[in-house]
Amino acid sequence: MTRFALYENEIAAKFSKRIVTAARVIDDSSLPKATQELVKIRASQINNCGMCLDMHTKDAAHAGETPVRLAMIAAWKESIVFTDPERAALALTEEGTRLADTSSAISDDTWAQVRKHYDDDQIGALISLIATINAWNRLNVISGQLGGEYTPGQW
């Protein structure tokens, strides 16, 4: 159940608009769009954000992502459907989303894989994307926003 009308509140709406504006830098980056959606979905799975899962799985499917890959995101380590660069991005997403769960935060192996597969601009976009989707997840989960009604391209 929705706890708070987040997007009807003046302060929260202003804040959300600023996140959307900031995220355009990521959207316009050379980080592949498919990778961007995988990151958004995986972080949202970890954070139990139904609203973001609804949005990003539908947007990914609308953009041509396959049902098999969408179904396998939660078990990406146990699948063969993701490229090595995507696997590096998913590993960084998991570690960056679960910062409090380990003392080492981002592992050296994960960082080495990210450096191997992405240039500095893509890494900047990837780090920013992980931070942004985690912010959206927290806004939606804390305020009790529910998934299920999103239409691709709605926002």
pLDDT in tens, 124-147: 999 999 999 999 999 999 999 999
Question: What are the sequence ranges of the domains in the chain?
Answer: 6-143
Average pLDDT of the chain is 95
Is residue 37 within 8 Å of 60, Cβ to Cβ? yes
What is the rounded average pLDDT of the residues 64-75?
97
pLDDT of amino acid 104: 79
Enter the tokens of residue 123. 């890494």
pLDDT of amino acid 1: 72
State the CB neighbour count (10 A cutoff) for residue 66: 11
pLDDT in tens, 43-67: 999 999 999 999 999 999 999 999 9
CATH code 3.30.360.10 for 6-143: no
Length in residues, the chain? 155
pLDDT of amino acid 153: 78
SS (H, E, C) the chain: CCCCCHHHCHHHHHHHHHHHHHHHHHHCCCCCHHHHHHHHHHHHHHCCCHHHHHHHHHHHHHCCCCHHHHHHHHHHHHCCCCCHHHHHHHHHHHHHHCHHHCCCCCCHHHHHHHHHHCCHHHHHHHHHHHHHHHHHHHHHHHHCCCCCCCCCCCC
